[in-house]
Amino acid sequence: MKKKFINKISNNDVINDIFLINEKKILQTKDGKNYLLLRIKDKTGNIDAKKWNIEEDKFDEINPGDIILIKGKAEKFNNNLQIIIESIEKIEFQAKYLEYLIPKTEKNISELTVKLENFYNKIKDSYLRKLLKKSLLDEDFFEKFKLSPAASSFHHAYQGGLLEHTISVTEISISLGNIYNVQNMDVLIAGALLHDIGKVFEYDPVTFKRTDEGKLLGHIAIGVNYIEKKISQIKNFPLSLSYAIKHIILSHHGEFEWGSPVQPSFLEALIVHFADNIDSKIQPIISNTNSEDKWIYLKSLRRKVVDLELLRDENETYNIQKDKSNISTIF
């Protein structure tokens, strides 16, 4: 099928395409008339869509997670592009549409899975190996894990994002563990692999919105409860090892104000926290390096960031490989 993606829509474009509903609201104008406000998405981004002058119950049949065909026109309002809807039609779900509507990791899932298995094979402790087999590496669970986003918007907000983030956090943790001569690499690796396991239940894999369970409990509590259940199924699982893994999950946000019920209290937990923080902050910058705008505001950093390449003047060489004339003066 041919589709014009959201990131290619311009002002005054005629719209006749399928989208996925992320959010739906019935609101009122200043003069009390109802209108429909949708937040719709495809694999390239999100955009608001409005239909004016509606009956309140007319669109009860369409809801978040539905695929819809919209006909209308793109307009700018307060410098933001939106779609003014002429007609909406709910489309019968077909898996093939998700290729166009759901953002996915650009990395190879099979290669990421091999990396994860290699991390597992580094672990020598038999109890931790059993725990990982019963939790993360359970066949049915891992199929869900591979499809999960790591967040709804801040970082790795795409299918496969949770797997990608987990691999990065584990790689960073192992590197830091080697630098600081961590004694219990098994706990460090297992904790890194399991730190965000609750996100499988926190986010809907299609809309990326938080589930009721996610809203009520959050992925940290969900993750600890899930791991506690799996630990209870392993005979004679050491209590100290149980405390260590659950503490890493509970403390990986690092600070109370960042959502951690406890703060990291041993080296392995502190490393996982910083590894998680590093990856969640750096990934959004990398994802926005192809933007046409020089400065981009990132919610995760609460600041504007710039691609260094875009700071160069057109005539500026700034290339040490081409200009080696002054290298001798530097060294």
Last residue of a domain, one of 80, 98, 116: 98
As given in the structure block, the two tokens for residue 103 are: 């953002």
Residue 323 counted as domain residue: no
Q: What is the CATH number of the domain that holds 18?
A: 2.40.50.140
* Same-domain status, 170 and 199: yes
* Same-domain status, 79 and 151: no
Residue range of the domain that includes 136: 103-285
Size of the chain, expressed as the number of residues it contains: 331
Number of domains present in the structure of the chain: 2
3-state secondary structure of 238: coil
* Same-domain status, 163 and 82: no
Amino acid symbol at 80: N
* Same-domain status, 46 and 111: no
Last residue of a domain, one of 72, 98, 124: 98
pLDDT of residue 315: 52
* Same-domain status, 131 and 190: yes
Distance (Å, whole) CA 207 – CA 273: 27
* Same-domain status, 241 and 169: yes
pLDDT of residue 327: 41
* Same-domain status, 130 and 78: no
User: What is 146-210 written as a DSSP string?
Assistant: HH--S-SSSSS-SBTHHHHHHHHHHHHHHHHHHHTT-S-HHHHHHHHHHTTTTHHHHB-TTT-PB
* Same-domain status, 59 and 168: no
* Same-domain status, 175 and 227: yes
Alpha carbon 217 to chain centroid distance? 18
Amino acid symbol at 182: V
* Same-domain status, 160 and 271: yes
Last residue of a domain, one of 74, 98, 122: 98
pLDDT of residue 319: 54
Could you tell me if 169 and 252 are in contact, meaning their C-beta atoms sit under 8 angstroms apart?
no
Residue 295 counted as domain residue: no
* Same-domain status, 194 and 276: yes
pLDDT of residue 317: 54
- Burial-class residue 218 by CB neighbours within 10 Å (0-12, 13-18, 19+): middle
Distance (Å, whole) CA 169 – CA 273: 9
- How high is the mean pLDDT in each 10-residue block of the chain (331 residues)? 82 93 90 92 90 84 91 90 94 84 90 97 98 97 93 80 96 97 97 97 87 95 98 97 98 90 97 95 74 71 77 56 46 40
Distance (Å, whole) CA 243 – CA 220: 15
Q: Answer yes or no: pTM beyond 0.85.
A: no
Residue 46 counted as domain residue: yes
C-alpha separations of 72 from 39, 66, 89, 220, 265 in Å: 15, 18, 12, 42, 56
